[in-house]
Structure 1
């Protein structure tokens, strides 16, 4: 931790007019049980007060707030034969990542105890949760109105709000984040002064105020607008997009192109999609008078699938980021984390994202659909190109979408034909229509004279229960997905 920041933090806390529910000053009081109870109270009150952390400072006079110094040494302090910090950690439930820091303040030695705000449940000491009321530390259970309020305030950890770079100067923020691209993407004129720039970045949660007139860059700010992700810590740098292109149909073939992205997702998205589309093989189709080169995969489908992989990944999965692999006959897009929606329902159900702030800002900037997941557009493009149906596949801790290149109906597998039938039924339902034998023939490019081929596929899909007759009393009314 930066000691200059800790000195600024101490001075900012001392400047408070009095002790606060989340802030307490001590001289040399080192009663272990008392510290444990206050850890519980500070964590719970920090959440109630909307703070990220609570603090206890030794070496500060609690009346004048002057630095008086302390001889408390948390590193050497013991309870019985056990190190104090280990003793304390074992008695706080749920586990809290508190930290003690000894600071050589210009006016004397100060010890800071920083306690993160409660997240999933009230924090207890020896299985009892505490709060602070004035200078007292009573049990939370004795104040049911405060307990109810705390439960309402508790929220799960939100990755986007975490800090990627702490205590950064204004110049560092402007150097680390592509703020010009941010204003271009939100379609707002670039302010003519730094205060205006920081005001917008802060309003969108890309930065937050730190002590000493410094700034914190949030995970959201870094992952979207970093000029280089590798200028942040390794866990964030590993979230960069990786692109690999193979000269063949499997990973044993020669790698012709490899790109390890280094920009934030929003800052580099347009360039990434353009680069991918430039690498995609093209097929020549002969029109009435001209040869027309068409990409193997629809460009709109590529854009939507890449955006979905970035937005809906599980950011807490360490050592992994989105990966795009292009083969001779398909494209595989993989992102960390199992999906929050069943794979077979991704087309029709509204998306559920772990990264709501990221998804909201990406939608605002036009990278993905405002309503829905955009996957219905992907399916529509696939059908327009009469491609094999995309495959949505869940892994143990990942999600993968496979987009296939052109293949004749005769070359599609039975499973692909049935999957295409289901996706076609979903698309028709979303359009307020119903799938019929004729529409399925059109989707596959089957000559109406051979409509029996579509009938075989429909019969198989009915047997598997993934589609059903729309109206049992009128079998010719068409078909809908099995869950409709």
Structure 2
């Protein structure tokens, strides 16, 4: 979907858009353009402030454009070739610097070097890339995926392939050596067969290959009623997670003709699609991070680490664009009929929910994580109903609030740093928003900076 510049500015800063009142210092400008080139591309618009007001530029336009080109040439490596042009909005001139996702990643600040000077875009902020991220960018530039690479530390003979063989047998397909090679589950080096990371992941041989499930009381993470952690092969994890979810969702009965049909408040095929999406597209290269499934009174939340793969935007994903982060996992899941066709998962979730007359799932990219939320449509048990009612009324009142106020209302002791991470904006931008809300008499601080809390008026 194409939006003109005015519509983009109205939507605010994002993964692909940043505003500056005036020409930033060279390093600041270079960091933003490098982050765009390493992520999903983007536009830096000069002449717009943090409140989205169009101020225009006061300096000579063409002199500024030459200065930008010179800064980029001096500071960025490999060379970036941004498109620098003028746009007139509200009779004011803006300078737009547009960079597309590069094919020579990683891009970095020349004087800082690759390891220290590589930046990526997370939400509306530029973040210094870790070595894990840098290696992922290098793989993307070579069109390789982490799961296609050889897992040198493990001998193929050490692995029990039974879960994988059984999964293929269930769909009537044999899993022989030739098939394992074509799916890149094994690769040969110097006449010896080695497992790939993809095979190790499918068998659940890494600590980060896990799904953590929790049923929380109420609508926050403060108190849990049940929790489980599933490890082992991915097929077992998927099955056990589905059972956990079913145990904590309500059934609703419907009379069709002479027969009663019981269905879950959220259609299970849509949940299964979301779980498969999380398993196939999450980032496995970064240890210590796993998939989390949270069930609250009001929603079911599935969070996978890694954000959207290979720099695509949420809008592109919503419109069916498919980018595969884990090629081995994806091929296997397609072969086993977990995936119908590339890029159809989100559309199928929405279609299934629509047919079941339940709310469409909410999708969001928060920093380096991807979130899918399903709204629960059934009430909880009678003894929780009054508590639920008060939670719902406060939730409804917060729906109309700006995101920052909604977060503060749900957690009055939330820190500025946590707000920055949740909203995907800089700490400075959070401080500005808070200052404006206090000025508008919508927010007040009770008690000291440390140990106090916020009150939404």
TM-score (norm 2): 0.48
Q: Which has the higher contact order (CA 8 A, sep 6+)?
A: 2
Q: Which has the larger radius of gyration?
A: 1
Give the alignment's TM-score, normalised by structure 1: 0.45
